Amino acid sequence: MDPLVPWYGRGSLAEVVPSVLAGLGVPGMADALGLAGPARVCVLLVDGLGWELLGEYAQDAPFLAALAADRSPITAGFPATTATSVAALGTGTATGRHGMVGYSFAVREELLNALRWHRHGGSAADLRQILVPEEIQPHPTAFERAVEAGVSVRVIVPRELQNTGLSRAVLRGGAFRGVHALGDLVGRTVNALREHDRVLCYTYHADLDAVGHVHGPGSDPWRIQLSFVDHLARAIADRLPRGGALVVTADHGMVPIGEEDRVDIDTTPALRDGLRLVGGEARVRHLYAEPGADPRPAWTEVLGDRAWIADREEAIAAGWFGPVVEDHVRERIGDLVVAARGTLALTRSSVEPRLSAFIGHHGSLTPAEQLIPLLVVTG
């Protein structure tokens, strides 16, 4: 099986907000996905709602499944992980431009955990002073451009995400509305859609992903949580103002991992030789080599055909990170990029004990991880 290279420019998460904003009169925005039209739009990002999972467990989400019946999926982007995907949605650009090249990656000799904006592994030092978010992602966000054009933008997310490094880097521009639970998420979203004539409301729900990591996608707890997500989407849709729209999408899918699928980098000496840093996560790794070292032969020997292995230039040329990779982003990509095939997980039992114990993982270039829904309902 060949890797599913994201459909940048014609069917990826990076085109969702620009397509909506094209209909709201924001200059420079193109409607690549056919979403332009409604003047009051909520984009609901459900963390971990993969297209294949929605199809397989449609009985647990009848409202969303009915919306999906006449739709086609889009792709998340690479890596298929939350920090990268939220950046794609918030900036309206592919990975090679917004620069969030994974869950963790090297920047200025630091290994940045982009989701939490702290030093990855070891001491969880807050890096917002050292790696200033607005400098790490310097381009205007799609939200900033929308506000400049007179669009009211609301960011309705869990309250603990206010002023985080990732929020400052890729979601800045919108008015933050922190929420505690599903009830006020729906309430704040509906109120935001009624505040002005031209509104973009970004709403985020994280719990499906969390349950999938801990219990596995398709588990009973995950299926129950999926039914809650279905009720959430229906609750917003039932309360849409006239001329409003709800766009439901996701940041990635997920694959279940068994014990036999795990290759532990920390207990496999051949996989540590010659490495300065190891970034990414279990389904996609950035390997930063010591000067003069070449980790590729050892990784190829250990993994065989269980992963796609490319050096930085090969991965860029193959389009994994988008059509353009800016110079300051290029150096964040590993000397070697390893993307898991099948159900392989490249764990780190010492450095990432909690993450390594997860049952559900994501990040790679398989359809299960890349394909996500793009569902639309209008008021």
At 30-48, the pLDDT tens digits run 999 999 999 999 999 999 9
**DSSP type of residue 367:** H
User: Is residue 90 a contact partner of residue 99, using CB atoms and an 8 Å limit?
Assistant: no
CB atoms < 10 A from the CB of 48, how many?
28
- Which pLDDT score is estimated for 304? 96
Give the three-class secondary structure for 307: strand
Phi first, then psi, for residue 319 (nearest 5°) are 85, 15
- Which pLDDT score is estimated for 34? 96
This prediction's pTM: 0.97
CA–CA dist 96, 75 (Å, integer): 16
Which architecture, in CATH terms, is 259-360? 2-Layer Sandwich (3.30)
Longest dimension (CA), the chain: 63
Range(s) within the chain of domains with CATH label 3.40.720.10: 13-256+366-378
Contacts of 222 (CB under 8 A, 6+ apart): 208, 211, 212, 215, 216, 360
Give the three-class secondary structure for 67: helix
As to burial, measured by CB atoms within 10 angstroms (0-12 exposed, 13-18 middle, 19+ buried), residue 292 is exposed
Q: How many residues does the chain have?
A: 379
User: Is residue 308 a contact partner of residue 3, using CB atoms and an 8 Å limit?
Assistant: yes
Nearest C-alpha neighbor of 335 from the set 278, 267, 269, 374? 278
CA–CA dist 225, 314 (Å, integer): 39
- Which pLDDT score is estimated for 151? 98
- Walking along the chain (379 residues) 10 residues at a time, the average pLDDT comes out as 95 98 96 96 98 98 97 98 98 98 96 95 86 98 98 96 95 95 95 94 98 98 98 98 96 96 97 97 98 97 97 98 97 98 97 96 98 96
Helix or strand (DSSP H, E) at 269: helix 269-272
Range(s) within the chain of domains with CATH label 3.30.1360.110: 259-360
Q: What is the CATH number of domain 13-256+366-378?
A: 3.40.720.10
281 to 103, 129, 287, 337, 340: CA distances (angstroms): 6, 24, 11, 11, 10
- Which pLDDT score is estimated for 91? 98
- Which pLDDT score is estimated for 157? 96
Tokens of residue 319, six digits: 């389009």
Tokens of residue 210, six digits: 């969390």
**DSSP type of residue 333:** S
- Which pLDDT score is estimated for 123? 72
As to burial, measured by CB atoms within 10 angstroms (0-12 exposed, 13-18 middle, 19+ buried), residue 80 is buried
